[in-house]
Structure 1
Amino acid sequence: MRSIHFISGLPRSGSTLLAALLRQNPRFHANMSSPLLGMVNAMLGEMSDRNEFSTFITDAQRRRTLRGLFEHYYGEEFAAEVVFDTNRAWCAKLPVLCELFPDLKMIACVRHVSWIVDSVERVVRNNALHPSSIFSFQTGGTVYTRAEGLANGEGMVGYAYNALKEAFYGEHAQHLMLLQYETLVSDPAKAMAAVYDFVGESPFQHDFDNVHFDAEAFDARAGTPGLHAIGRKVAAQERTTVLPPDIFRRFENDAFWLNAQANIRGVKVV
Structure 2
Amino acid sequence: MKPVHFISGLPRSGSTLLAALLRQNPRFHAHMSSPLTGMIDVMLGEMSDRNELAAFITDAQRQRVLRGLFASYYGEEFTADVIFDTSRRWCSKLSVLNALFPDFKIIACVRNVSWIIDSLERAVQRNALRPSFMFNFQTGSTVYNRVEGVAFGEGLVGYSYNALKDAFYGEHAHHLMLLQYETLVRDPAMAMAAVYDFVGEAPFQHDFDNVHFDADEFDERTGMPGLHAVGRKVSAPDRVTVLPPDIFRRFENDAFWRNAPSNVRAVRVV
Please give the TM-score of this superposition, normalised by the length of structure 1. 1.00
- Residue 224, structure 1, aligned to residue 224, structure 2: yes
Q: Which residue of 2 aligns with 1:137?
A: 137
Q: Which residue of 1 aligns with 2:189?
A: 189
Instruction: Name segments (4+ residues, structure 1) moved above 2 Å.
Output: none
Q: Which whole-Å deviations, capped at 9, do the CAs of 1:115-154 have from their partners, x for residues lacking one? A: 0000000000000000101111111210001011111000
How is 1:37-116 mapped onto 2 (pairs within 5 angstroms)? 37-116=37-116
Q: Which secondary structure does the structure 2 equivalent of 1:139 belong to?
A: coil
Give the RMSD, CA atoms, in angstroms. Answer: 0.4
Figure out how many residues of one structure are paired with residues of the other and give that number: 270
Q: Which residue of 1 aligns with 2:243?
A: 243
In structure 2, C-alpha distance between the alignment counterparts of 1:74 and 1:229, rounded to whole Å? 25
Q: Which amino acid aligns with 2:208?
A: F
In structure 2, C-alpha distance between the alignment counterparts of 1:190 and 1:163, rounded to whole Å? 26
Q: Which whole-Å deviations, capped at 9, do the CAs of 1:197-229 have from their partners, x for residues lacking one? A: 000000000000000000001001100001000
- Residue 179, structure 1, aligned to residue 179, structure 2: yes
- Residue 120, structure 1, aligned to residue 107, structure 2: no
Identical aligned pairs, as a percentage?
A: 76
Q: Which residue of 2 aligns with 1:265?
A: 265
Cα offset for 1:237? 1.1
In structure 1, C-alpha distance between the alignment counterparts of 2:70 and 2:139, rounded to whole Å? 37
In structure 2, C-alpha distance between the alignment counterparts of 1:215 and 1:85, rounded to whole Å? 16
Long gaps (5+) in structure 1? none
Q: Which amino acid aligns with 1:170?
A: G
How is 1:209-220 mapped onto 2 (pairs within 5 angstroms)? 209-220=209-220
Q: Which whole-Å deviations, capped at 9, do the CAs of 1:51-87 have from their partners, x for residues lacking one? A: 0100000000000000000000000000000000000
Q: Which amino acid aligns with 1:187?
A: D
Q: Which amino acid aligns with 1:35?
A: P
Q: Which secondary structure does the structure 1 equivalent of 2:4 belong to?
A: strand
Cα offset for 1:12? 0.2
In structure 2, C-alpha distance between the alignment counterparts of 1:49 and 1:139, rounded to whole Å? 42
Q: Which secondary structure does the structure 2 equivalent of 1:8 belong to?
A: strand
Long gaps (5+) in structure 2? none
Q: Which amino acid aligns with 2:177?
A: M
In structure 1, C-alpha distance between the alignment counterparts of 2:142 and 2:136, rounded to whole Å? 14
